[in-house]
Chain A
Amino acid sequence: MKFVGKSVKRVDGIKKVTGSLKYVDDIKLSRMLYAAVKRSPYPHANILNIDISKAEALKGVKKIITGDQFTKRGGLYLEDKNFLAVGKARYQGEGVVAVCAETEEIAKEAVALIDVEYEVLPAVTNAVDGMKPDSPLVHPDLADYQWAPVFFPEPGTNVSNHYKLRKGNSPEAFEQADIVVENDFFVPHVQHVPIEPHTAIAQMDVDGFLTVWASCQSPYAVRQALSAAFDVPLNKLRVLSPAVGGGFGSKAGTTLEGIVIPLAKACPGRPIKLTYSREDEFQNAYVRQGLHAKIKTAVNKDGKITAVQNEFVWDGGAYTEYGVNIAKAAGYASAGPYDIDNVWTDSYCVYTNHPVGGPYRGFGMCEIHFGIEQNLDIIAEKLGITPVEIRRINGMKPGGTTGTGEVVSTSGLMQCLDSVVQDIKIHEKSKPTSPKKVRGKGIACGWKAPSMPNNAASSAVIKLNEDGTAHLLVSAQDIGQGSDTVMTQIAAEVLSISPEKITIRTGDTDHTPYEWQTVASRITYSAGRAVFEAAKDAMDQLLELSQIKLGIYKRDLELRDGYVVSKIYPDKKVAIADLAIGLNFEDGSAIHGPIIGRGAFIPPNIRDADKKTGLGDHPVVFWTYGVQGVEVEVDLETGQTKVLTVASCFDVGKVMNPQLLEGQMEGAIVQGMGTALFEELILKDGKVMNPSFVDYKIPTSDDMPEMIIKFVENPEETGPFGARGVAEPAMVPSAPAIANAIYDATGIRLNTMPMTAEKVLAAIKARDAQNTE
């Protein structure tokens, strides 16, 4: 292949290194107004009265809106959300009143002049407590809400989804097991921390057309949600996402768009802009859901796991319109990448008065694997076998069955394991840099499937130009992962023209075709397949015309370097430029017209699982498997853990662009390391205590480990050139691999993330104190 599988340079590179790419916050429109939001200081409080009189009187204030003017609820899977609080605030920082004014400063000043009277309510600040019968209710009206039929809310409680998986006979398997191991794990809220905070602009034209510029991953899903929430027909609602400065899931759904739209409706003709501050980003955009996990495993002396029983309690925060699906995804993945006959899982999404939980890279998998993969090491130790051996015995192989009973046809997990074992030299100990430091190595497996509706669709259009160049139109968003480049490579490969001759355009619901969402590690696979089909369609049209032009059967023609060429007589050819607008005959007549390739794709044969048991033979499109091995050095005096080396190997089906893929894996490893070692949204009585970079640290260049990145390529049958997704799976094993390495180094097992220096040191001291007693 000429372009696929090659390190083609980023097509958006020059725009990004010159600072000329316009992100939404860079857009300045004439007569633009600026919005600011009055937010609840309480995590749970009834709104008794809102006095806007002083703010209204301020010069330059254009419009003030309150939640009770927009009571229609919305949401992706469960309609539980309002964009401004209606009746009561459910988390500290929830928007209560929005203002737009001539300048940002005036808007903020106006917000300060608004008086809101609250009646403070008892708050739910722990998901496990939130499940107790006497808990206050975050959504007392849950029974009246609408939801997709694959979710199971429990009205009258804080449970917004109860997912069940019942495979085989777990109770019996536990009775018969040689060893049973049970452990609890906790993963706190973290934030995605895209360097670009959320931002949106909305403009309502006098003729009823609404335009929204949003830093969003999924313009079509945003259009759908906003259309439903504000009763604007889809043909009159245009969503543009010109560039996204990092998403990681946080920009997958709708957040602040719903605040600027009502303001825009109230000020026809004037664009309204709202940009989140970093503090907003930490508490008012999505956060990753917290998880309380109980994992119980039955195992025989030969190392074979016979059953698992899991209870996952997700801290979903104030609204779980998106989060209910994380509980579901974690549920069907709950056995981990292991072939286990008996699986019993209850996964609960629970409302709390915490910031809104939402999709974050991994979509539940990073969180559950923190427990699954540590539990496995604990079992291995009890059995007297190595962490590698227990994974070899139980790891998913082709022909194995998943937790839902799906028979696996493709799994490169064992190849990945072999690769990582070798690269991290798991069985060799290296010397620490000082006698007060210790080193250890750990390993963890991971898997993930795209968590999406069965009918999540993609499409692509390719327009050939008169000079033989082309335009590729898709709505898959390049949020940094490099999709613009990979989509271009796919089109270039099929059409046999160089990537420089293809211009990709994305992110405009009026002009680029449908894409469900840029989430779920599905873009290379699904949008890539649509691009592949569009290019094939264009190719087919070119061959049809060439068959007439050259008098050679289509089957004997192929595209080569901008020409349609005879496979048999290579000198017989016609330039695609000459066919781009149709085929011209010698008598001056012409046929066909412009070549426009159309590609559409829905993953085939994905079926709903059984509602009672969760079992299903093909509930997800594919599973991506991989392994990470880690070497750490722990300072026994400070508790500080330094990740020295990470070896990673994933089965990606097909490496589309080695350099970009490597970069994505490296980013995932470092992001995973941050969540493992120090990232945590610290909440006290529902209040976010560290909403700034001073108090919430993410990894810097100083924290970067050595990274060894490898891939295996067992093709995905329905993917373009065999590719499957890996953006999220890449991060899944990071935290447990580090936890297992810390244990190897120190003998200390930490069941709570993040594994901070303080926690490690406290555990070392506690153990030493016990040993001296």
Chain B
Amino acid sequence: MKKIIEFTLNGELVEHAVDVQKTLLKMIREDFDLTGAKEGCGAGECGACTVIMDGRALNACLVFAVEADGHDILTIEGLAVDGVLDPLQVSFIENAALQCGYCTPGMIMTAKALLNENPTPTVEEIKEGISGNLCRCTGYKKIIEAIQFVVEDQPV
């Protein structure tokens, strides 16, 4: 069964008939071909599917697509505006905060939401903030440094 929903996706208002059983993750990946968010576990445990809804990070694998109705969804594909990378994206490259890249979109979206809520987190708050996003490659050090770098680089 499908339901028509209306929501903002990466800044554009969209109307879409979606299967009510479908998760938000499946919808953005399958129906909109936005494959930056990944399914790492399908159980909300790894954070690879993280997107931002109304400014807050969430695991898109745990939310039904219909719940996006009337909301604002930002995926990794919407983070760079007009081809200009977000400071977090630049910082991840500069600080070598990615390796295989599979957790990277989710990690960056979590970091983005974290900085939205708390523009000047401490290292402990950064660690806590990304603790729901698993990375098997980096050991996290350079990810934390990349987020710190953006915090320190902000205009006062």
Contacts and interface: CB of A to CB of B under 8 A. Distances in A.
A417 to B, nearest CB: 23
Contacts of A17: 76, 85, 89, 92-93, 98, 101, 104-105, 108
A26 interface: yes
A25 B45 CA distance: 19
A710 interface: no
Chain B interface residue count: which class?
35 or more
B43 A246 contact: no
Nearest to A481: B99
A26 B35 contact: yes
Contact of A23 (B102, B127, B136): B102
Contacts of B135: 195
A702 B127 CA distance: 6
Interface in A4-42: 7, 9-10, 12-23, 25-26, 28
Interface string A641-671: 0000000000000000001101110111111
B113 interface: no
Interface in B64-115: 75-77, 79-80, 85, 89, 92-96, 98-105, 108
Given A7-B96, A14-B85, A18-B77, A667 B137 contact: yes
A770 interface: no
A338 interface: no
Given A9-B94, A18-B89, A702-B131, A196 B100 contact: yes
Interface string B116-156: 00000000001110111111111111111000000000000
B104 A16 contact: yes
Nearest to A192: B136
Contacts of A479: 100
Interface in A665-718: 666-671, 692-694, 698-702, 704, 707
Interface string A239-253: 000011111100000
Contacts of A16: 98, 101, 104
B57 interface: no
A284 to B, nearest CB: 15
Scoring B30, B37, B85, B99 by chain A CB atoms within 10 A of each residue's CB, the highest score goes to B99
Given A17-B85, A693-B134, A670 B38 contact: no
A662 B142 CA distance: 9
A248 B136 contact: yes
A198 to B, nearest CB: 12
B99 A195 contact: no
Nearest to B36: A19
B38 A14 contact: no
A197 interface: yes
Contacts, number: 172
Contact of A666 (B98, B136, B142): B142
A246 B100 contact: yes
A700 B88 CA distance: 20
B43 A670 contact: no
A319 B10 CA distance: 47
A468 interface: no
B40 A196 contact: yes
Contacts of A22: 35
B96 A660 contact: yes
B136 A698 contact: yes
B15 to A, nearest CB: 22
B127 A701 contact: yes
A194 B100 contact: yes
A693 B85 contact: no
B41 interface: yes
Given A17-B85, A479-B100, A702-B127, A670 B139 contact: yes
A694 B46 CA distance: 10
A19 B41 contact: no
A480 B137 contact: yes
A365 interface: no
A701 B96 contact: no
Interface in B3-18: none
A548 B100 CA distance: 46
Contacts of A247: 100
Chain A interface residue count: which class?
35 or more
B35 A667 contact: no
Contact of B101 (A245, A663, A668): A245
A195 B77 contact: no
A194 B98 contact: no
A278 B141 contact: no
A616 interface: no
A245 B138 contact: no
Contacts of B40: 195-197, 278
Chain A interface SS verdict (over half): loop
A669 B137 CA distance: 10
B48 interface: yes
Contact of B38 (A20, A25, A193, A694): A25
Contacts of A194: 100, 102, 136
A18 B144 contact: no
Contact of B41 (A192, A482, A671, A693): A693
Nearest to B128: A702
A701 B140 contact: yes
Given A18-B89, A278-B40, A693-B134, A701 B99 contact: no
A571 B132 CA distance: 59
Contacts of B45: 692-694
B29 to A, nearest CB: 8
Given A17-B108, A18-B76, A692 B102 contact: no
Contact of A700 (B36, B76, B77, B131): B131
Contacts of B35: 19, 22-23, 25-26
Nearest to A694: B45
B42 interface: yes
Contacts of B98: 10, 13, 16-17
A300 interface: no
A694 B42 CA distance: 12
Interface in A456-513: 479-482
B142 A19 contact: no
A20 B127 CA distance: 26
Scoring A10, A14, A479, A698 by chain B CB atoms within 10 A of each residue's CB, the highest score goes to A10
A671 B93 contact: no
A692 B138 contact: no
A7 to B, nearest CB: 7
Scoring A23, A192, A669 by chain B CB atoms within 10 A of each residue's CB, the highest score goes to A23
A167 to B, nearest CB: 37
A243 to B, nearest CB: 7
Nearest to B98: A16
A16 B107 CA distance: 11
Contacts of A15: 101
A386 interface: no
Contact of A671 (B33, B79, B127, B139): B139
Contacts of B144: 701, 704
A278 B132 CA distance: 16
A693 B141 CA distance: 21
Given A246-B100, A663-B142, 17 more contacts: A17-B92, A18-B89, A19-B104, A28-B33, A195-B136, A196-B102, A246-B137, A479-B100, A662-B96, A663-B96, A663-B137, A667-B138, A692-B45, A693-B134, A700-B140, A701-B128, A701-B140
17 contacts: A16-B104, A17-B104, A18-B76, A19-B36, A19-B104, A25-B35, A195-B46, A195-B48, A662-B142, A666-B139, A667-B99, A667-B138, A692-B45, A693-B41, A701-B140, A701-B143, A707-B139
Closest A-B pairs by Cβ, 7 of them? A19-B36, A245-B102, A480-B100, A16-B101, A480-B99, A670-B139, A693-B45
